[in-house]
Amino acid sequence: MRLTLVQCGRVLVPTTLVAILSCGGPSKFRSEGNSGTRGKLVVTDTGLGPFRWDAPIATIRASWPISRDTTVPPAEGPLYAAVELRRPGARIILEQLDTTLHANAPADIWYLSGDSIELPKGLHLTSRWGEFRKAYGTGGGAAGDDVTYWAFNPCSVPYLFISFSIQSLEVDSTVDSNSVAADIPVSTQPFEAFVVVDKTHYVPCDSTTSGLKSG
């Protein structure tokens, strides 16, 4: 399978999806005076633990103990607005594809890291590439524009991308997705996962297509 890719942020992704795996910004962290959720946060097609993907950023932010305004740099053009959330075992970045943060609107992309994040089918960011392939099966993928990481998009979980370092592999951004998947050592661990909220409306694909859910 060969993917049609576009460049958004620092990642090449299928069709119109946007992905960026590093964030920054000038504002300081602030405490909301709330301990937030405790324990694991499970990723589903509706949200992260008790936090829905379609909830306003302000609503989610009020339930986290530490947060700050930040930005996400795309490959070209102005910075995208985002909010970074932290609690023990989890770091979340909520990105809107706009230069101005709209607190009463939801995020477009959620970037997930931390050992309290539980991915679909019981996997974690400490799981290995071999475990992801066995649990999720086939999928697409895209190499970053500097070809140092690769984002795997499993057909069985169409809204989820899992990012792996591929610095040791000699690939370019046009390489066949299945070729990259076969070359990644099975013991490799991801460094981040991200959810594209628009794709939570898709049904599982057959490795080449992913249709919209009915209704």
Residue 166 pLDDT: 76
pLDDT tens digits, one per residue of 82-101: 999 999 999 999 999 999 99
CATH 2.120.10.90 corresponds to the domain 1-215 = no
Q: Which residue has the higher pLDDT, 212 or 102?
A: 102
Question: Does 200 have pLDDT greater than 50?
Answer: yes
**Residue 44 confidence (pLDDT) above 80:** yes
> What per-residue confidence (pLDDT) applies to 33?
45
Across the range 15-38, mean pLDDT stands at 45
> pLDDT exceeding 70 applies to what percent of the chain?
68
Cβ atoms of residues 120 and 44 within 8 Å: yes
pLDDT above 70: residue 162:
yes
pLDDT of 59 above 50: yes
pLDDT for the residue 210: 53
> What is the DSSP annotation of 95-133?
E-SSSS--TTS--SEEEEESTTEE-GGG-BTTS-HHHHH
Task: Give the integer Cα–Cα distance in Å for 206 and 15.
Answer: 16
Domain coordinates in residue numbering, the chain? 1-215
Contacts of 207 (CB under 8 A, 6+ apart): 1, 138, 139, 140, 155
User: What's the rounded mean pLDDT across residues 53-61?
Assistant: 97
Lowest mean pLDDT among 24-38, 64-78, 101-115: 24-38
Average pLDDT score, the chain: 77
